[in-house]
Amino acid sequence: MDLSIVVPLLNEHESLTPLVERLHTVLGAMRVDYEVVLVDDGSTDGSWEVIKTLSAQDRRVKGIRLGRNYGKSPALNEGFKAASGRVVITMDADLQDDPEEVPALYAMIDQEGYDLVSGWKKVRHDPLSKTIPTKLFNWATRRVSGVRLHDFNCGLKAYRSQVVKSIEVYGEMHRYIPFIAQREGFPRIGEKVVKHHPRRFGRTKFGLDRFINGFLDLMTIWFVFRFGRKPMHFFGALGTLMFVLGFTATAWLVGDKLWHVMNDRPARLVADNALFYVALVAMVIGVQLFTVGFVAELVARNAPERGHYRIDDRVGL
């Protein structure tokens, strides 16, 4: 199989038929062996019935129906598992992504050697309430991840099959697939300006809450990839720092008290100094963080995926 098109969807029954028809036209002209995988993320508007009809008309159209609405990331993850093409391209089902972009994206993976190519909706047909937060989100993601893309949230992306088979997408992590792919050892990440069409049917699934969740997910990914296999490096270092600061402050207070006593000078009780309690709290927190680090190391060492690494090739074995 040359190419798999993975389309996650939720309540998009009106756009499915024109989308698949346009895909057949574009992909047929490319003369490649392809499949279209439609992943219904718990639609309630009859989208699954449309998918079954499209699949009956052309067996290259395949459908997956999730038991309920899990979100875009789980839908993509299931689509990635089912995809059998050497190149996998994802796109949204709302007709805002243009199927005419597929041949160029396919060529960038198949001929130019990219691991992943992300679309960039340079000219967007969205309200300011969506475009302004999107720009802030993309700026923050570039700063944290180090991946220089303009549009992380663009649904139109192309991948080598090894990429989608090597990553797991859950929660709301679909926005950070380029970051995840880079951390998993796929550094050849490109970008292509793509067309963005106004929505014709249905309503947007956009909500401002996704930016709060998106920021938390970004911090989660950064932490997991940096300290997931060595949590003691984070908790132990932070705990040691807190304990040393608290111990140093306590030692200074006690030493100051002894100096005053030895020199027959009046001095407050150590326990009357607010810094003493701050120092005690710092030492207690330091011990707790250090303990958390030990527990996290035990959990990490017993994780089933520990010691499992992606191997691209072998020779002489």
The verdict on 146 and 261 lying in the same domain is: no
Residue 307 in this model has a pLDDT that exceeds 60? no
Instruction: For residue 251, give its domain range.
Output: 231-301
Domain count along the chain: 2
The verdict on 180 and 59 lying in the same domain is: yes
Q: Which pTM value belongs to this model?
A: 0.76
The verdict on 20 and 157 lying in the same domain is: yes
User: Is 312 domain-assigned?
Assistant: no
Q: 3-17, 27-41, 134-148, 176-190: which has the minimum mean pLDDT?
A: 134-148
Span 67-94, pLDDT tens digits: 999 989 999 999 999 999 999 999 999 9
Q: Which residues have C-beta within 8 Å of that of residue 272, sequence separation ≥ 6?
A: none
The verdict on 83 and 191 lying in the same domain is: yes
> At 305, is the pLDDT very low, low, confident or very high (cuts 50, 70, 90)?
low
As a whole number, mean pLDDT of residues 87-115 equals: 95
The verdict on 268 and 159 lying in the same domain is: no
Question: Residue 106: which CATH number?
Answer: 3.90.550.10
Span 193-213, pLDDT tens digits: 998 887 776 666 555 566 677
As a whole number, mean pLDDT of residues 260-279 equals: 85
The verdict on 37 and 178 lying in the same domain is: yes
Burial 46-73 (b: 16+ CB within 10 A, else e): ebbebbeebbeeeebbbbbebeebbbbb
Token pair in block for residue 199: 């929505």
Domain boundary among 199, 227, 255: 227
